[in-house]
Structure 1
């Protein structure tokens, strides 16, 4: 393991691995798919935005076809399959296709969400539009359950499978109220889902974990601040805490490192984060830094510690 920012990133090898990244249109899901591809995996990427159809998220330029091409360019094989993971029949068709084409599934990443546009911040539960609130739970919880229920029999056919429940926030951090009733439930539930799944898959030789990025510089977040990846630090004038932000590559490398670790069962049922796994496995963000956003939020933002943000990069 290296702690130096000068060392090149060592790529794990996932040649022969078959992965499904459910919700790989953009953000963390896309980066996870690409980093699995960079390690040599075959990656099925799903989502609702294609080159001919836009989902309710309303971001037409980010498509699953583009994600699949990025996976292949990175060195893997990317396969785009348009799928609405709230439609069980579509998920069954997806898993049947993976079985027919590959006969196995080694890694399942539940990165399904797409509910940010529904959130009413600073609004009481009873003042929140009920249909929008329930839709958030569909997108962030029900979609994950449907996908795991249908995909796990294929994943469990061989020992050593990995299930990653993507969320926002660690188990420790999400003991705080996440500012909106429905968002709180949508992002806390995957932590518990990973914990519960761990019990169900343990005797099958598989591992289930929850994983969160830190302050993620997703396409949507960059747009929110009016910056690009090249000049992202300009956003720190609006939001000083953005100084601890990480690119999606970071959490992508976290999943690739987990998938390549023969001892990953030691994480079964745990809540993990990108900064924690970077220290464990020795990888860095794309710029060679090693952000620890959750440590920063715990110590400085909420703990009142007087420390510069650079101490957490």
Structure 2
């Protein structure tokens, strides 16, 4: 049986691939045939301050390989300049190219305080959130983009939460969280201005309501019975797996005309309408259109 592998021979780096969107993106890039370097702080022998042992970069790398690609796990703290520099040097030495860079580093779930103005929010936690959500992306771009632009057609994806349109008019309930997520959209646009002259594309990309490991745990469900949470949170019906945003990245990376999106703020649901991919259950959730339309009671037209 012939398997379509549009990214065979391509090399990707998914920074922040331990869990959630990063894991889903890495897996789908692997399914498209890519060699994928997956980074994060949690390994099978060391954990980050999240203190979660069930998701590791080795586990993500194995999913990449099982999907049909080649997964390579490298422990990296993306705030540490030398660690990021060594990572890129390794990719250069091993492959001499980088075709896709996905900046998905986050780590702020345990730091934000909802509905807290700046004078009430813990200052150290807020500033740490900005470092994790903004500095990590800039540091990684600084070291990785020179390799990416050496071959035409490179792609940078800045992964955030919310489209530019949504974030421009909606307060995200915490000044620190708000700034971190708006900044990701702006970074996607700003890098586009510099990358265009090198025949490379930069976008910001948001998943919809992500059924990440931590979100499922928060609602006391698993992927197999996630609909049980709808009795408490009916809007959870619009949620999507991490593989859905992964398919968005894989489709974009394989598109020879992806430069038409340079500088744009994109969503997984929006790109599904462009490229025709579905989530793992065959649905096509479009969470940001659902929100823009006022959260209608009937979610079916948005799946």
Global fold match (TM > 0.5): yes
Q: Following the alignment from structure 2 to structure 1, what is the Cα–Cα distance between the partners of residues 161 and 4?
A: 25
Runs of 4+ in structure 1 over 6 Å off: none
Q: Is 1:27 aligned to residue 17 of structure 2?
A: no
Change beyond 3 A, Cα 1:165–1:151: same
Q: Is the 8 A contact 1:214 1:246 kept in 2?
A: yes
1:252-310, Cα deviation, whole Å (9 max, x unpaired): 00000000000000000000000000010010000000001001111123xxxx55111
Shift of 1:17: 0.5
2:253 aligns with: 259
1:134 aligns with: 127
Q: Following the alignment from structure 1 to structure 2, what is the Cα–Cα distance between the partners of residues 137 and 285?
A: 31
Secondary structure in structure 2 of the residue aligned to 1:172: helix
Instruction: Select which of 272, 281, 294 maps to 2:288.
Output: 294
Residue ranges of structure 1 left out of the alignment (5+ in a row): 1-9
Shift of 1:236: 1.1
Shift of 1:11: 5.4
1:311 aligns with: 301
Shift of 1:58: 1.8
Q: Is 1:37 aligned to residue 30 of structure 2?
A: yes
Residue ranges of structure 2 left out of the alignment (5+ in a row): none
Q: How do 1:9-158 and structure 2 match up within 5 A?
A: 13-158=6-151
1:233 aligns with: 227
Q: How do 1:125-204 and structure 2 match up within 5 A?
A: 125-175=118-168, 176-204=170-198
Shift of 1:57: 1.6
Secondary structure in structure 1 of the residue aligned to 2:284: coil
Q: Is the 8 A contact 1:165 1:193 kept in 2?
A: yes
1:210-259, Cα deviation, whole Å (9 max, x unpaired): 00000000000000000000110111111111010011110000000000
